[in-house]
């Protein structure tokens, strides 16, 4: 088949393909971007594969960076854009179920595409917009099926992360997994324990943020993949709660919201230790923890001025969207109104600081000064004190006089 319209991302990169072809080599757009072009989905990364070896690419282009030359990848800098160009290659046995022990550069496109994970990711697109489909990927796209290229067991044994990628593609595309491919995935789930947590997190995070996340998560549960993921062993019932408690049309607004709801469904009390097992950042852990805390607060009472000040309106609005999805009461307008009424949104906004109070009233650093600053902050949050120098100093003088 030939694409009726070549996406602008490919059009911009056509001169790269032309330069390589003019030098006597083959060059194609490959991978997921070709699949997305066929499906008329947004394109993210433009990957180029070529019969030219890395040193040959470096002779064709004047500005290059050796980003992964040992695996055949050269970064080409052209017209303020960056393009990763990878030589056709075959791979030796995988030593850790993730990386090949050795790669061999080849001149054959078919040999290169044979090592791809799924048929819908094994397309190539040439400079005339013709789709090259050597493994039945177009038929699988039409039937909305994920099928491994070649021997499914071999593909997952080579790279166990492909199990998570398959579930993620299922969630992002809404496809089903072909029977033999699914069986091979299930047979190799134990290999996920040998894959880095960081890589698994990326795939699970993308799954949760995908439009068909419930479909991907349901397959993750039914195929027992969850048993080999950090902190999720023996959590089938809780994951099913997560699947059943939100309507099918619900999409998470952020990764933090998705993971917060996962933790809520798991009824996990130790948020940070759980997320540390997933090697997440401190900022991510703090935001997720705040979302879970606000969710618990809302089960007991309405949101207060102090809550909006402490957690911020965006965190609380994400909790309200979860409540709305679950059919619980919600009130976005109230949150916006409270936020608008707040005198300050951060203590750094207070117009008088500790150093000024020390100078004006001969105060020493310590608990007394700390308590005074906390009182100023809490009075402002409560709406009892204006954020002006006169009002603050008058309040301080009254406090000091009352001691």
Which residues are annotated as part of the binding site for ATP? 32, 35, 116, 159, 162, 165, 168
* CA nearest neighbour of 27 among 6, 70, 56: 56
- The tokens describing 74, both together, are 């050269």
Cα(312)–Cα(157) distance, rounded to whole angstroms? 46
Cα(250)–Cα(226) distance, rounded to whole angstroms? 22
H-helix or E-strand spanning residue 59:
helix 54-60
Cα(336)–Cα(305) distance, rounded to whole angstroms? 11
> Which residues are CB-neighbours of 215 under 8 A, at least 6 positions away?
170, 171, 174
Cα(44)–Cα(36) distance, rounded to whole angstroms? 9
Residue list, annotated binding site: 32, 35, 45, 47, 116, 159, 162, 165, 168
The helix/strand/coil state of 172 is helix
Residue list, annotated binding site for CTP: 32, 35, 116, 159, 162, 165, 168
> What torsion do the CA atoms of 60, 64, 65, 71 make, to the nearest 10 degrees?
-20
Looking up tokens 């496809």 gives 175
DSSP secondary structure code for residue 41 in this structure: P
The helix/strand/coil state of 174 is coil
Is 60 in contact with 20 (CB distance < 8 Å)?
yes
Here the contacts of 379-385 (C-beta below 8 Å, separation 24 or greater) are 380/343, 380/344, 380/350, 381/305, 381/306, 381/309, 381/342, 381/343, 381/344, 382/305, 382/306, 383/305, 383/341, 383/343, 385/343
Instruction: Provide the sign of the torsion angle of the four alpha carbons 107, 110, 115, 117, taken in this order.
Output: positive
Cα(142)–Cα(240) distance, rounded to whole angstroms? 30
Question: What pairs with residue 131 in β-bridges?
Answer: 125
Exposure of 208 in the CB half-sphere (CA atoms within 13 A): 20
């Amino acid at each position: 088949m030939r694409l009726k319209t070549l996406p602008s991302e490919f059009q911009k990169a056509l001169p790269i393909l032309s330069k390589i072809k003019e030098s006597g080599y083959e060059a194609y757009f490959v991978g997921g971007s070709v699949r997305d072009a066929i499906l008329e989905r947004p394109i993210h990364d433009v990957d180029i594969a070529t019969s030219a070896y890395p040193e040959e690419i470096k002779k064709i282009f004047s500005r290059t960076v050796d980003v992964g030359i040992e695996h055949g990848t050269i970064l080409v800098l052209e017209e303020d854009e960056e393009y990763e160009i990878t030589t056709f290659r075959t791979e030796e046995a995988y030593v850790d179920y993730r990386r090949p022990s050795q790669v061999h550069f080849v001149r054959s496109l078919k040999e290169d595409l044979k090592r791809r994970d799924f048929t819908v990711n094994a397309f190539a697109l040439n400079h005339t917009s013709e789709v090259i489909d050597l493994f039945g990927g177009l038929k699988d796209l039409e039937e909305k099926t994920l099928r491994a290229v070649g021997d499914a067991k071999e593909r997952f044994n080579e790279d166990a992360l492909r199990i998570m990628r398959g579930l993620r593609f299922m969630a992002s595309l809404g496809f089903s997994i072909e029977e033999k491919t699914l069986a091979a995935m299930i047979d190799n789930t134990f290999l996920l324990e040998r894959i880095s947590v960081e890589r698994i997190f990326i795939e699970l995070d993308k799954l949760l943020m995908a439009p068909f996340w419930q479909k991907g998560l349901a397959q993750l549960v039914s195929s027992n993949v969850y048993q080999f993921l950090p902190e999720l062993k023996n959590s089938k019932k809780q994951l099913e709660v997560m699947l059943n408690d939100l309507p099918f049309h619900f999409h998470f607004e952020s990764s933090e919201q998705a993971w917060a709801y996962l933790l809520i469904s798991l009824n996990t009390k130790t948020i940070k230790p759980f997320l540390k097992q997933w090697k997440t950042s401190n900022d991510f852990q703090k935001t997720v923890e705040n979302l879970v805390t606000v969710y618990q607060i809302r089960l007991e009472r309405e949101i207060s001025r102090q809550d909006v000040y402490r957690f911020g309106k965006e965190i609380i609005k994400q909790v309200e969207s979860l409540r709305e999805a679950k059919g619980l009461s919600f009130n976005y307008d109230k949150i916006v109104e409270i936020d608008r009424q707040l005198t300050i949104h951060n203590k750094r906004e207070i117009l008088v600081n500790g150093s000024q109070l020390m100078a004006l009233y001969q105060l020493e650093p310590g608990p007394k000064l700390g308590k005074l600053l906390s009182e100023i902050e809490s009075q402002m949050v409560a709406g009892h004190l204006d954020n002006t120098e006169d009002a603050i100093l008058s309040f301080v003088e009254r406090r000091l006089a009352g001691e």
